[in-house]
Amino acid sequence: MHAYRSHTCADLNASHVGQTVRLSGWVHRVRDHGGVLFIDLRDHFGITQVLCDPDSPVFNEVEKLRSEWCIRIDGEVKARDESLVNPKIPTGEIEVFIRDMEVLGAASELPLMVFGDQEYPEETRLRYRYLDLRREVMQRNMTLRSDVVASIRKRMWEIGFREYQTPIITASSPEGARDFLVPSRLHPGKFYALPQAPQQFKQLIMVSGFDKYFQIAPCFRDEDPRADRSPTDFYQLDMEMSFVEQQDVFDTIQPVLQGIFEEFGGGRKVDTDWPQISYRDAALWYGTDKPDLRNPIKMQDVSEHFRGSGFAIFAKLLEQEGTQIRAIPAPTGGSRKFCDRMNAFAQKDGLPGMGYIFWRDQGEGMEAAGPLAKNIGPERTEAIRQQLGLDVGDAAFFLGGKPAAFEKVAGKARDVIGEELGLTDKDRFAFAWIVDFPIYEKDEETGEIDFEHNPFSMPQGGMEALNGDPLDVLGYQYDLACNGYELVSGAIRNHKLEIMIKAFEIAGYDEAEVRKRFGGMVNAFQYGAPPHGGCAAGIDRIVMLLADTVNIREVIMFPMNQRAEDLMMNAPSDPTSDQLMELGLRVIPQE
């Protein structure tokens, strides 16, 4: 017999009754039923009930067992009484009577329990992550993640992609986030950087003549943490293709991701129609460039109904350049109680409030109620109702000003309204391509033009577009949104050197600086660069959605905490004096 096990803790069933078996695992739970000890023995695969009474030669040793001790048992498989069969587990028909036992690893008093669903502070869970990972939900999440990655790889190979590895240590590159710098011992005073993404390398792979590339790539960014973002590192499905247009990338990646969600989505509906929505329309309709389309609410511009109206606040706002009034329709939200609650929500988010109108049946017909309705009169109120397609029992909420100042809150309000009114279809994955991103933005204080989005995107219209107003220039850049999260980001790349230099010149970077910062790509583009494009899909967020959790740390094996600390391994840590001396560095204490 094997030194540790003849079967896993999920293998045994009624067909094994009478056999002598060997199992190894962790003591999940101990129950004492009048001198008979029942133990749920757990390994990665499942749970088997083992038992021991005073007739067993190892009864005294078994009595000493506590939760999470790692043990090996030998015993005889017995059928459970029919009334005691547990249909919820594969081994529920049998139990194993212990004849011999060996303690493989005793456990001290536990800082957190593995058995049960107790809630523990995240700091405790991360400090003792090896215990946290023993819990059933975490075993399930990590298995899901591994299976998703394996399926992605299989699907990419099946459509003609090959996986190539790019460097983990490279040069610093301004790609939208802070680099992690690595000091060089051999070149004192100089630094490498961990790659924010394989962006430049995958473009160079295309220039090198490889037609299709993908990689499950680690990326490193020194970012502020959020629930849906790791503060240090993450993994993405990185892909690039030569001789393609934007639609080719969409047509390639959709079957891969759609298949993943169908395979691992637990039966939830997966939309097959992925609409393409312009960045500006997404901001107008949803208040975000990662809309949750499970919620059918679409915001609208209703400025004309308030221009010159009796509602002075909005009327005066609209006299200022660049202002707008937007309405958030709320089907079935037509009660004063709900409207007041949403108004309080806006105030809590830093706005003065949200105006509202709701429509009710007064017996003799429909009546518009609320302060706004009284101020603007029945004609304007009716025009708003008709534009929004609302009826008795419905409501609408209004925000005004410069869109940049209220769009984010409007988007959150739309989400809350959809949730509270039961309009958001929770049992579904809804996707949308967000396209036509503006390449440039103007700093309102300095008036300077800078990149708003990916500087390596090919501008729509090429060089001709760059000779016009920079704020009108759109890029062949795209994101894929799913259920309110950005899952994919990509672009058709700017592979023409003269267009690339002009694009950076508009943002204030002269040719010398471009050549210095992006020397590898600049040089390569001089030697016959093909048109190419691609995208990257966030593995962590995909698994987060499939696991139905809102915290990305629930699907990462060993994540950092919110302060970018590894409490288990004590990172970041202080370097030794010898390490600093070898690198020619000195740490200046923070005041």
Average pLDDT for 432-448:
91
Structure confidence by residue, pLDDT tens digits, 240-277: 999 999 999 999 999 999 999 999 999 999 999 999 99
Cα 367 to Cα 385: distance, rounded to the nearest angstrom: 11
H or E element that contains 6: none
Question: What's the CATH number of domain 14-105, 2.60.40.420, 3.90.1150.10, 2.40.50.140, 3.50.50.60?
Answer: 2.40.50.140
* pLDDT score for 174: 62
Ranges 137-141, 226-230, 545-549: which has the least confidence: 226-230
Structure confidence by residue, pLDDT tens digits, 311-349: 899 999 999 999 999 999 999 999 989 998 898 888 888
- 176 has pLDDT over 70: no
Please state the pTM of the whole predicted model.
0.93
Say which residue the tokens 């390994």 belong to. Answer: 43
Structure confidence by residue, pLDDT tens digits, 484-526: 999 999 999 999 999 999 999 999 889 998 888 888 889 999 9
* pLDDT score for 485: 96
CATH number of the 138-275+431-437+475-495+530-582 domain: 3.30.930.10
CA distances from 444 to 447, 449, 450 (A): 5, 10, 11
Question: Range(s) for CATH 3.30.930.10 in the chain?
Answer: 138-275+431-437+475-495+530-582
> Residue 361's pLDDT band (boundaries 50, 70, 90)?
confident
Structure confidence by residue, pLDDT tens digits, 130-157: 999 999 999 999 999 999 999 999 999 9
Average pLDDT for 64-72:
97
Question: Range(s) for CATH 3.30.1360.30 in the chain?
Answer: 295-424
CATH topology of domain 295-424: Gyrase A; domain 2 (3.30.1360)
> Residue 80's pLDDT band (boundaries 50, 70, 90)?
very high
Strand bridging mode 212-220 / 162-163? parallel
* pLDDT score for 352: 79
Ranges 14-23, 219-228, 448-457: which has the least confidence: 219-228
* pLDDT score for 175: 60
- 381 has pLDDT over 70: yes
Helices of type H across 110-242: 122-127, 129-132, 136-158, 199-207
- 227 has pLDDT over 80: no
- 177 has pLDDT over 80: no
Cα 430 to Cα 118: distance, rounded to the nearest angstrom: 33
* pLDDT score for 447: 82
Mean pLDDT of the chain: 94
